[in-house]
Amino acid sequence: MDKNMKILIVDDFSTMRRIIKNLLRDLGFTNTAEADDGTTALPMLKSGSFDFLVTDWNMPGMSGIDLLRHVRADERLKHLPVLMVTAEAKRDQIIEAAQAGVNGYVVKPFTAQVLKEKIEKIFERVNG
């Protein structure tokens, strides 16, 4: 796994972005950027060369699930690995995210270990 890969963290709460950013840094990923909802994240994804997207679900403006759908519908972004980190815990929602093409799903509150496992699993599959 390339520790220099560029990661976009999308969450409407700055504290949660900061937690995820710190956890990623502890895992050795320091090349991160932040956005506070899908509407600001999408142009960043389209113009920047991001390798990985970590997004919340419930956000004002564009939600995480809609962002995921936009990413999958975009010719250049459709293979971008996406990890959803969210408080949304309904079975229907997890199935919906899976159908929309999410690569991993972490429910809040989560641990550093869970985040690490999911990221490793995603890149094992992507690279394998």
Partner 1 sequence: MTQADQSFVEFEATLRARAPQLLESLQQGRLDETAQMLNELNQMRNNGLYQEVGKLTRELHNAIVKLEMDTSATGGDPSPITDATDRLSYVVTMTEKAANRTMDLVEESTPLVNYVSYEAQSLTADWQRFMRREMNAEEFRELVRRVDSFLQRSMNDGSQLSQNLSEIMLAQDFQDLTGQVIKRVTRLVSELESNLLNLVLMAGQVDRMAGIRHDCDAMRLEQERKKREKEPSNGEGPQMHADIREDVVSGQDDVDDLLSSLGF
Q: Is 57 in the site for partner 1 (CB under 8 A)?
A: yes
Please say which residue, 73 or 89, places its beta carbon nearer to partner 1.
89
CB of 92 to partner 1, least distance (A): 5
Do 7 and 29 contact (CB within 8 A), yes or no? Answer: yes
CB of 43 to partner 1, least distance (A): 22
Q: Is 96 in the site for partner 1 (CB under 8 A)?
A: yes
Q: Which of 116, 11, 6 lies closest to 52, judged by CA? A: 6
Residues in contact with partner 1 by CB under 8 A are 13-15, 18-19, 22, 57-59, 63-66, 86-96, 98, 105-108, 110, 114
